[in-house]
Amino acid sequence: MTFVSHVQPRWSDMDVYGHVNHANVVTLLEEARVPVLFGEAERAGLHELPKGVVVVKLAVHYRAPIVATPGRTVRVEITLAELKASTVTLGYVVRTGPDAADPVAVTAETVLAPYNTAELRPRRFSDEESEFLKRVLADA
């Protein structure tokens, strides 16, 4: 299963060349994963996961430009690439528009770690969090 998020690039995300620049593409990735790691996790009763997740590593590969068009979203498909005791690797496919048939603009990966904000240190995923990530993001 792939979690799909639709994100609206803003006109201010574009650079002088007329496409969404690197820093704002990274923000689009973040906006796409927030609904699953925070919203869906909270609805599943996982109250610790939304309290803290940090990016450990990021890789972005550009295939085509993303252009901010009023009212048009981009489709971000998120899959579980790898799950370890204290990190999760998410894979992303960002399409130039909202449909699964739209061309791929960006592929990316982020390695994320759950973080204990009270103790200011990384932590391990609970069994419930691991099962949630497998269930919601596992690529069938």
The pLDDT tens digits for 80-112 are 999 999 999 999 999 999 999 999 999 999 999
- Per-residue pLDDT, averaged over 16-36, amounts to 93
DSSP structure class, residue 11: G
**Would you say residue 89 lies in a domain?**
yes
Please count the structural domains in the chain: 1
**Would you say residue 45 lies in a domain?**
yes
pLDDT at 6: 97
**Would you say residue 93 lies in a domain?**
yes
pLDDT at 18: 84
Q: In angstroms, what CA-CA distances link 121 with 14, 53, 55, 78, 139? A: 35, 11, 13, 26, 29
**Would you say residue 102 lies in a domain?**
yes
pLDDT at 139: 52
**Would you say residue 124 lies in a domain?**
yes
**Would you say residue 140 lies in a domain?**
no
Residue 140 has pLDDT above 50, yes or no: no
What is the band of 1 on the pLDDT scale with cuts at 50, 70, 90? low
What is the band of 15 on the pLDDT scale with cuts at 50, 70, 90? confident
pLDDT at 28: 96
User: Tokens representing 78?
Assistant: 């998120």
Where do the DSSP E strands lie in the chain? 3-7, 53-62, 74-83, 88-95, 104-116, 121-122
CATH code for the domain in which residue 11 is found = 3.10.129.10
pTM of the entire structure? 0.93
**Would you say residue 15 lies in a domain?**
yes
Q: Using CA atoms, how far apart are residues 126 and 114, in angstroms rounded to an integer?
A: 10
Q: Cα 117 vs. chain centroid, distance in angstroms?
A: 21
pLDDT in tens, 109-131: 999 999 999 999 999 999 999 99
The residue segments making up the domain with residue 76 are 3-135
pLDDT in tens, 32-45: 999 999 999 999 99
